Structure 1
Amino acid sequence: MQLIEGAGVWTPPSEAENDWAEHLRTPDLSVGTYCIPAGGLDDQSPHTEDEIYVVTQGRATIVTPGGSAEVEPGSVIFVPAGEVHRFIDVTEDLALLVVFGPAYGSRAANPN
């Protein structure tokens, strides 16, 4: 058992950029926090792993090719590997607990 300190807690990004902090990594999953300030832009690219977001703070809209939804604290979102997605209209500082399965980046192509 391990308590994961700071997971899902808002951290002001430095220099108005988004903030990503990984808190736990095993071969099968990773857990982190992604923060976007109010009015900020989500600049992420699709991931090679399945992903679950849990909104712990803030409000925004998530947009995917399949549609859009307003999110708020308590919202839980599943994004399959490879799906384009973006948080827009961030009206309040947004903190997201993020769970990747398998671990973030572990399915990325080996550049060698």
Structure 2
Amino acid sequence: MRILEGAGAWTPLAGAANDWAEQLRTPDLSVGTYCIPAGGLDDQSPHTEDEIYVVTTGRGRIVTPDGTADVGPGSVIFVPAGEEHRFEVTEDLALLVVFGPAYGSRAQG
């Protein structure tokens, strides 16, 4: 057992537009926190792993080719591997992110 201290908490790096911090990595999954300030640009690319986002603080919209949806604290979002997606942020957004398998483990390189 392991408690993931700080996972999902709003903790952006000073001067950074967005912040990604990984709190756990195993071969089968990884867990981290992604923070985007209000009005910030979410410039992520599609991932090679499935992912689940849990909004812990803040508000905005998730935009995918299939549509858009408003998100806020408690929202849980599944994004399959390879799907384009981005967040449009209206209030500082902190997301707990779970990747399966671990983030980047399927990346071609």
TM bin (shorter chain): over 0.9
Match of 1:8 in 2: 8
Q: Which residues in structure 2 correspond to 1:46-85 (within 5 Å)?
A: 46-85=46-85
Q: Normalised by the size of structure 1, how large is the TM-score?
A: 0.95
Tell me how far apart the structure 2 counterparts of residues 81 and 10 of structure 1 sit (CA, whole Å). 25
Letter in 2 for 1:101: G
Across the aligned residues of Structure 1 and Structure 2, the Cα RMSD in angstroms comes to 0.8
Structure 1 unaligned residues grouped into runs of 5+: none
Q: Which residues in structure 2 correspond to 1:1-112 (within 5 Å)?
A: 1-88=1-88, 90-109=89-108, 111=109
Tell me how far apart the structure 2 counterparts of residues 59 and 21 of structure 1 sit (CA, whole Å). 20
Letter in 2 for 1:100: F
Structure 1 stretches of at least 4 aligned residues deviating more than 2 Å after TM superposition: none
CA shift digits 1:6-37 (9 cap, x unpaired): 00000133324100000000000000000000
Q: How many residues align?
A: 109
Structure 2 unaligned residues grouped into runs of 5+: none
What fraction of aligned residue pairs are identical, expressed as a percent? 82
Q: Normalised by the size of structure 2, how large is the TM-score?
A: 0.97
The answer as to whether partners of 1:13 and 1:35 remain within 8 angstroms in 2 is no
Tell me how far apart the structure 2 counterparts of residues 28 and 57 of structure 1 sit (CA, whole Å). 27
3-state SS, counterpart of residue 43 of structure 1: coil
